[in-house]
Amino acid sequence: MLSVMEPLVILPKETLPEVRLGEGDVFLIAGRSIPENPEEIYLPVLNWLQEFLEKEPDRPFELQFRLEYMNSGTMKYVMEILRTLKNYMDEGHRNITLRWYYEEEDESIQEMGEHFRDYLDLPMEVIAIYA
Protein backbone atom coordinates (compact mmCIF):
# COMPACT_ATOMS: atom_id res chain seq x y z
CA MET A 1 0.00 0.00 0.00
CA LEU A 2 1.21 3.48 -0.80
CA SER A 3 2.17 5.92 1.91
CA VAL A 4 -0.08 8.96 2.03
CA MET A 5 3.03 11.01 1.53
CA GLU A 6 3.30 9.56 -1.96
CA PRO A 7 0.72 10.84 -4.44
CA LEU A 8 -1.08 8.28 -6.56
CA VAL A 9 -0.93 9.36 -10.20
CA ILE A 10 -2.28 7.32 -13.09
CA LEU A 11 -1.80 8.90 -16.48
CA PRO A 12 -4.68 8.61 -18.94
CA LYS A 13 -4.61 6.14 -21.79
CA GLU A 14 -7.19 5.24 -24.40
CA THR A 15 -9.28 3.18 -21.94
CA LEU A 16 -7.98 4.51 -18.61
CA PRO A 17 -8.85 7.72 -16.79
CA GLU A 18 -6.44 10.21 -15.32
CA VAL A 19 -6.18 9.80 -11.55
CA ARG A 20 -4.41 12.31 -9.30
CA LEU A 21 -4.59 11.78 -5.55
CA GLY A 22 -2.47 13.58 -2.99
CA GLU A 23 -0.79 16.19 -5.18
CA GLY A 24 -2.47 19.00 -3.30
CA ASP A 25 -5.94 19.54 -1.94
CA VAL A 26 -7.81 18.73 -5.18
CA PHE A 27 -7.98 15.06 -6.11
CA LEU A 28 -9.11 14.10 -9.62
CA ILE A 29 -10.60 11.19 -11.56
CA ALA A 30 -11.12 12.30 -15.16
CA GLY A 31 -11.51 11.16 -18.75
CA ARG A 32 -12.72 7.92 -20.29
CA SER A 33 -12.83 4.89 -18.02
CA ILE A 34 -13.47 1.67 -19.89
CA PRO A 35 -10.80 -0.73 -18.60
CA GLU A 36 -11.26 -4.45 -19.18
CA ASN A 37 -10.11 -5.10 -15.61
CA PRO A 38 -11.31 -2.10 -13.58
CA GLU A 39 -9.99 -3.59 -10.34
CA GLU A 40 -6.44 -3.05 -11.59
CA ILE A 41 -6.95 0.72 -11.56
CA TYR A 42 -9.62 1.21 -8.91
CA LEU A 43 -8.43 -1.11 -6.12
CA PRO A 44 -5.23 0.95 -5.76
CA VAL A 45 -7.39 4.11 -5.71
CA LEU A 46 -9.64 2.68 -2.97
CA ASN A 47 -6.67 1.46 -0.94
CA TRP A 48 -4.92 4.83 -1.25
CA LEU A 49 -8.04 6.73 -0.19
CA GLN A 50 -8.66 4.45 2.79
CA GLU A 51 -5.09 4.84 3.99
CA PHE A 52 -5.24 8.60 3.45
CA LEU A 53 -8.45 8.89 5.49
CA GLU A 54 -6.90 6.86 8.32
CA LYS A 55 -3.59 8.72 8.41
CA GLU A 56 -4.78 12.26 7.72
CA PRO A 57 -8.36 12.36 9.02
CA ASP A 58 -8.52 16.14 9.40
CA ARG A 59 -6.89 17.16 6.13
CA PRO A 60 -9.49 18.87 3.92
CA PHE A 61 -9.64 17.91 0.27
CA GLU A 62 -11.86 18.10 -2.78
CA LEU A 63 -12.52 15.10 -5.01
CA GLN A 64 -13.52 15.98 -8.56
CA PHE A 65 -15.03 13.50 -10.96
CA ARG A 66 -14.67 14.68 -14.56
CA LEU A 67 -15.54 11.48 -16.37
CA GLU A 68 -16.52 11.60 -20.02
CA TYR A 69 -17.58 7.98 -20.24
CA MET A 70 -17.48 4.93 -18.00
CA ASN A 71 -18.33 1.28 -18.32
CA SER A 72 -20.31 -0.76 -15.80
CA GLY A 73 -17.14 -2.02 -14.10
CA THR A 74 -16.05 1.56 -13.49
CA MET A 75 -19.50 2.47 -12.18
CA LYS A 76 -19.17 -0.26 -9.54
CA TYR A 77 -15.87 1.16 -8.29
CA VAL A 78 -17.01 4.79 -8.41
CA MET A 79 -19.95 3.72 -6.22
CA GLU A 80 -17.53 2.02 -3.82
CA ILE A 81 -15.28 5.11 -3.67
CA LEU A 82 -18.28 7.30 -2.92
CA ARG A 83 -19.64 4.82 -0.37
CA THR A 84 -16.26 4.85 1.41
CA LEU A 85 -16.33 8.64 1.57
CA LYS A 86 -19.98 8.66 2.69
CA ASN A 87 -19.16 6.29 5.59
CA TYR A 88 -16.24 8.53 6.53
CA MET A 89 -18.46 11.63 6.48
CA ASP A 90 -21.12 9.82 8.52
CA GLU A 91 -18.48 9.39 11.25
CA GLY A 92 -18.45 13.18 11.61
CA HIS A 93 -15.70 14.16 9.16
CA ARG A 94 -16.89 17.13 7.12
CA ASN A 95 -13.63 18.08 5.46
CA ILE A 96 -14.46 16.61 2.03
CA THR A 97 -15.90 18.47 -0.94
CA LEU A 98 -17.30 16.28 -3.72
CA ARG A 99 -17.88 17.65 -7.21
CA TRP A 100 -19.19 15.77 -10.24
CA TYR A 101 -18.65 17.60 -13.54
CA TYR A 102 -20.37 16.83 -16.82
CA GLU A 103 -20.49 18.47 -20.23
CA GLU A 104 -23.74 20.43 -20.57
CA GLU A 105 -25.09 18.16 -23.33
CA ASP A 106 -24.15 14.88 -21.64
CA GLU A 107 -27.32 13.83 -19.86
CA SER A 108 -26.09 10.31 -19.12
CA ILE A 109 -23.06 11.50 -17.11
CA GLN A 110 -25.21 14.15 -15.43
CA GLU A 111 -27.82 11.56 -14.45
CA MET A 112 -25.13 9.19 -13.20
CA GLY A 113 -23.74 11.86 -10.88
CA GLU A 114 -27.24 12.69 -9.66
CA HIS A 115 -27.96 9.00 -9.11
CA PHE A 116 -24.80 8.48 -7.04
CA ARG A 117 -25.52 11.66 -5.05
CA ASP A 118 -29.15 10.78 -4.35
CA TYR A 119 -28.68 7.03 -3.78
CA LEU A 120 -25.92 7.57 -1.23
CA ASP A 121 -27.39 10.83 0.13
CA LEU A 122 -24.11 12.63 -0.51
CA PRO A 123 -23.39 16.36 -0.34
CA MET A 124 -22.01 16.26 -3.89
CA GLU A 125 -22.40 19.09 -6.37
CA VAL A 126 -23.31 18.07 -9.92
CA ILE A 127 -21.96 20.81 -12.15
CA ALA A 128 -22.38 21.49 -15.87
CA ILE A 129 -19.33 22.49 -17.89
CA TYR A 130 -20.25 24.82 -20.72
CA ALA A 131 -18.14 24.65 -23.84
pLDDT band of residue 58 (cuts 50, 70, 90) is confident
In this predicted model, what pLDDT tens digit does every residue of 100-117 receive, in sequence order? 999 999 999 999 999 999
Give me the residue spans of the domains in the chain.
8-104+113-129
| Pairing state between β 61-70 and 96-103 | parallel
The distance between the two most distant Cα atoms of the chain, rounded to a whole number of Å, is 39
| pLDDT computed for residue 5 by the predictor | 59
In this predicted model, what pLDDT tens digit does every residue of 115-129 receive, in sequence order? 999 999 999 999 999
Say if residue 6 is exposed, middle or buried (CB neighbours under 10 Å; 0-12, 13-18, 19+): exposed
Signed CA dihedral, 33, 123, 9, 39: sign only: negative
- CATH architecture of residue range(s) 8-104+113-129: 2-Layer Sandwich (3.30)
| Cα pseudo-dihedral 97, 103, 107, 112, rounded to 10 | -30
pLDDT band of residue 94 (cuts 50, 70, 90) is confident
